[in-house]
Amino acid sequence: MPEKEDAIQEVREKLVRIEVLLENINTNNNLKTELIEEKIKVANNRITDLENSNTWIWRAIAGALISSVIAFLLK
């Protein structure tokens, strides 16, 4: 009987170790998910900034072209 109890105790200890590992994996996955979400937010902000800069550049080019045409017509 003591052998059976030892085997049961050993199985319980291994089960506890497995539970701890599973909890750590879950926590680790949650941290990775949060990190990825944060990186996505930063990337989206950078994309928005680049789009705004692109719009500003095209407006500046259009303004320069219009000014050049007006200056050419007034000469």
Q: Lowest-pLDDT range, 1-10, 37-46, 65-74?
A: 1-10
Domain that includes residue 4, residue range: 1-74
- Using only C-alpha atoms, the chain has a radius of gyration, in whole angstroms, of 32
Mean pLDDT value across residues 6-30:
91
- Give me the number of domains the chain comprises: 1
Q: How confident is the model at residue 2 (pLDDT cuts 50, 70, 90)?
A: confident
What DSSP designation does 51 have?
Answer: H
CA torsion angle for 59, 65, 69, 71 (degrees, to 10)?
Answer: 90
Which single residue is written with the structure tokens 């701890």?
Answer: 20
User: Which amino acid would we find at residue 31?
Assistant: L
Q: Quick check: pTM over 0.75?
A: no
